[in-house]
Chains A and B, each alone.
Chain A
């Protein structure tokens, strides 16, 4: 049986309407892709497209969808960007 880990998801841009962050739990060994699907369940199906167009970051790099998260910690969800 896999361990459960706690992940703090920090919000930016259009996700700020949900506050600065949310906490979620998932099995250790979950992929970024799985975490994004869980986030869709948490925030609602209306956010499916924007979450699918967004990326998760560990605050150092952008993580590929197949990246595996082993430990509790924080990640940022970054929607499409529009600086300048």
Chain B
């Protein structure tokens, strides 16, 4: 069993070519990719762009962990997962996921797993900018459930 994982938080344009090349493997017959794109509307409001904020060290660690979990579920898969930090306009790519695998089922399922986990676990926040000049941080998923998955001690030990 083998897998390759590349994850990052980037402040530059995300490259689909790099993603595909990374997960390509002569042994593999499938690559599935997912692109998150900034759309021009949300809740009936016209959106002009989104600013993404990130806790970079924890976000990198979480992305790696998510991919390792996926590789544990679907062995023989490669992962390239990058999330953007900074301002994006409508049509720009905010998140890029590519998964390579022997057959299509694993790459479809693993790719879906990665984006769903990103939605609820990755310490990233988005501020939408509207046509009327107003900007708002969007509500999200609390990370309180993540506490149980960490291995940090109580702090009493001083270790």
Contacts and interface: CB of A to CB of B under 8 A. Distances in A.
Query: For chain B, what secondary structure do more than half of its interface residues adopt (helix, strand, loop), or is it mixed?
Result: mixed
A81 B147 contact: no
A83 B137 CA distance: 12
Given A14-B137, A57-B58, A64-B147, A84 B53 contact: no
Interface stretch (B17-25, B67-75, B99-107, B150-158): B150-158
Contacts of A62: 58, 143, 146-147, 150, 152
B119 A84 contact: yes
Interface residues of A, number: 29
Contacts, number: 115
Interface residues of B, number: 41
A81 B121 contact: yes
Given A57-B58, A83-B126, A78 B152 contact: no
A38 interface: no
A26 interface: no
B108 to A, nearest CB: 17
Given A62-B152, A63-B152, A83-B83, A12 B118 contact: no
B49 interface: no
Contacts of B119: 82-84
A54 interface: yes
Contacts of B134: none
A54 to B, nearest CB: 7
Query: For chain A, what secondary structure do more than half of its interface residues adopt (helix, strand, loop), or is it mixed?
Result: loop
Contacts of B52: 83
Interface in B3-59: 36, 52-55, 57-59
B152 A54 contact: no
Given A67-B154, A82-B126, 4 more contacts: A54-B142, A63-B152, A76-B55, A82-B119
Interface of B: 36, 52-55, 57-59, 61, 83, 94-95, 115, 118-127, 137-144, 146-147, 150-156, 158
Interface of A: 12-14, 16, 53-55, 57-70, 76, 78-84
- Which 5 pairs across A and B sit closest by C-beta, in order of nearness? A13-B125, A82-B140, A83-B124, A68-B155, A80-B140
